[in-house]
Structure 1
Amino acid sequence: MDLTNGPEPCVVCGDAATGYHYRCMTCEGCKGFFRRTIQKNLQYHCKWNNNCAIDKTTRNQCQFCRFRKCIDVGMATDLVLNEKQRIAKRKLIEDNRERRRAETVTIKAKPDTPTSDDLTDEDQNIIDDIVIAYEQTAIKVTKTYPVPDDESVPKEKVDENSIDVWQQLAEVMTPSIVKVVEFAKRVPGFLQLNVDDQILLLKSCCMEIMCLRAACRYDPVNRTLTLQNGLLLKKNQLNHGGLGLLVEPIFDFAVGLSKLQLDQTEIALLAAVLLMQSDRTGLKEPEAVEKLQDAVLGAYKRYIAEQRPMQPVHWAKILMKVTDLRTISTRHAERVLCIKLDSPGELPPLFLEMFDEGAQKI
């Protein structure tokens, strides 16, 4: 109703209307008159010529003409509730009022009920277990040694199809692979998964977690990356050996990761997320993996909401890093497959196991 210029008139008698009743703008008097007529099935007769003028002062003089005008202006008889319908409606209203009162009492009785963004005790237990697992399986780099800046060393293009290159990489990566396996076994729920699914998840995430751990050893001040064997590298030195084949994409990833300034808990949880990917092709029981994945993601998201309330997009940026790591791993798997086709039987068994075709289709 537009009350700017006062109340609108009732379309039946011209009195001040109170709203739409039975599809027409009417006053309370005409609304009640129309309802009673229909509910009681009342019959009226005009004492005059069946054409009485109906207004505010005459509306009670001829009920027949008043009701006929109600019909003529469009009041709907089918909208008037019968006695059974009125009782049902009244009960529904009372039920809704009672439900709202009960909800109000519940809220007052439990003022500390956690919201969806609050860390639960279960979340904290998951986080604690994962952080401990990650820290206990980390490779401690106690001594570093840089690659000498010897300009006399020719910076020739590394042949990435060289078996020697991949053998060198296998030797460097072996300790890290062992640590990834140990980490996975300590993540809550992992050992309860189907054994074949455990193996598939490990194959799929191993390179991703190793890349993550290597990227965390990036020094943004000196722009150096420390490998697990203590080798201290700068990006412009990658052409000096076969390690450049593996390390260059990790270098680029590490630069972006360092800008997020993740704490140790966030890093550990990110590693667990990489492990628990329920969309890995070939899983026999993906629902079980998805259940663990949801628990880790939920705890992770709520941890970030609590620790970084002023950084609403931080969570989205972390999920993008998961995609980046999976892309790096997939590219290495494609390289291994090409070499396997060109030089069958010459690749180190470690790589044939890690980059098994079935485990790397993501």
Structure 2
Amino acid sequence: MINRFINGFFRRSIQKQIEYRCLRDGKCLVIRLNRNRCQYCRFKKCLAVGMSRDYKISSSYVLSIRGKAVRYGRVPKRSRERGEESRVTQSEADQSSRDVENKQLAMYDIILTISQAHHANCAYTEEKTRGLIRKPAIFVRQLSVGALLKPISLDEYQTGSAGDDSPTSNSGSAADSLEQKKIVMWQHFAVLVTPSIQRVVEFAKRVPGFIDLSQDDQLILIKLGFFEIWLVHISRMINTVDNTLTFADGSYITRQQMELMFDHEFVANVFNFMVLLNNLQLNDTEIGLFAGVVLLQSERSSIYDTKAIDHSQEKLMEALKLQMGRNHPTEPHTLAQLMMKLPELRSLGLKHAHHLQWFRANWTRLKLPPLFAEIFDIPKCDEELVV
């Protein structure tokens, strides 16, 4: 409501022909408590509610408001209603603006949290892999229980020399020799992968919303999502020139060696996924956010609180959208292409789980790191793995 103080201010401004300026582009919120903070916006509001620059002053202080003469200090009912509507509209606009700002701040907080968690717990960030010295992975063949261990380079497996003095080579069975190679390679592949398990667990603990889930849901998400998250992390370590995959310590294995452990089709799909993911040119923060989205998959088997997981994943999706919008402004389809990787990644996870059946069927012949056996639900051998 326009009162005598507002009218007095307006009258003085007109009489003295004062020109005001605003430091906030004329967007100040003017209410009774703060009306003296910005004279420009205060004067602007006077005009907005109907006061006119074309005034007439008499002994009764008459102002001309929208062409109608009224006594000073009073406002026509219609103008007063318009002024109230204007104030309500402005208040709603300000509240909406504050809501948007608060939502963006919350998104930036999520981005920062995930970025810090990813850099702290992923061994395959750009900084950690820069200048990494690569070397062929060395597998160790155990000749017999308790016997000495003989180091064997993976190249020997390609030439077939690894089976020359193995226990199975005396039988002359090529199938048994191949099986022995597979066992040795799987055991040491597990050793190379195991450090990433604890890192993914620590990363998951810092994903917003994850720690609020039940322990059962947390365990399911980590166990069923680990391999997929690991693929996202290690994708940048693929080398399409020599067809190798390099681990955090610089050890690398070849595509042919991976095919011996899995099969040709599965490895081809893994390599294809990694290449296409790398083509999106994601930075470490975006990879971390995407890994968080992969972690929070409510359709995992036996999940209880699907609603809470979906809610947390939606927030991560919004944060990822905001981050990618900033970093890929000229590539609006990058986010959609990334989201299309989720079903492909899920398919790879299911196929990997199928390959683990071989582990479970041959667990008595294997010596795996306890953490690796636990994450993939493989029975553990009583003897400790020697590496």
- TM-score, normalised to structure 1's length? 0.59
1:326 to 341, 346, 349: 346
Given the superposition, is the C-alpha separation of residues 222 and 153 from structure 1 closer, same or farther in structure 2, using an over 3 Å criterion?
A: closer
CA contact (8 A) 1:214 1:250 kept: no
- Determine whether 1:227 maps to 2:229: no
Alignment match, 1:123: 107
Alignment match, 2:291: 271
Amino acid at match of 1:354: I
Given the superposition, is the C-alpha separation of residues 99 and 220 from structure 1 closer, same or farther in structure 2, using an over 3 Å criterion?
A: farther
CA contact (8 A) 1:278 1:290 kept: yes
- Determine whether 1:343 maps to 2:327: no
1:105 to 90, 114, 118: 90
2:193 partner SS: helix
Aligned partners of 1:159 and 1:345: how far apart in 2? 14
Residue deviations 1:80-132, cap 9 Å, x none?
xxxxxxxxxxxxxxxxx99986775357657956769x970110111111111
Aligned partners of 2:257 and 2:190: how far apart in 1? 20
Given the superposition, is the C-alpha separation of residues 165 and 318 from structure 1 closer, same or farther in structure 2, using an over 3 Å criterion?
A: same
Higher gyration radius (CA): 1
Amino acid at match of 1:138: C
- Structure 1 residue runs without a partner (length 5+): 1-96, 358-362
Residue deviations 1:144-187, cap 9 Å, x none?
11479969943799659943333222211111111111111222
- Determine whether 1:175 maps to 2:195: yes
- TM-score, normalised to structure 2's length? 0.56
2:304 partner SS: coil
- Structure 2 residue runs without a partner (length 5+): 1-81, 138-152, 161-173, 379-387
2:328 to 308, 328, 334: 308
Q: Which moved more, 1:124-133 or 1:224-233?
A: 224-233
CA contact (8 A) 2:118 2:285 kept: no
CA contact (8 A) 1:146 1:233 kept: yes
CA contact (8 A) 2:157 2:181 kept: no
1:187 partner SS: coil
Alignment match, 2:8: none
Aligned partners of 1:208 and 1:143: how far apart in 2? 26
CA contact (8 A) 2:114 2:288 kept: yes
1:295 partner SS: helix
RMSD: 3.8
Alignment match, 2:374: 353
1:292 partner SS: helix
How is 1:180-259 mapped onto 2 (pairs within 5 angstroms)?
180-219=200-239, 224-233=244-253, 235=255, 238=258, 242=261, 249-259=269-279
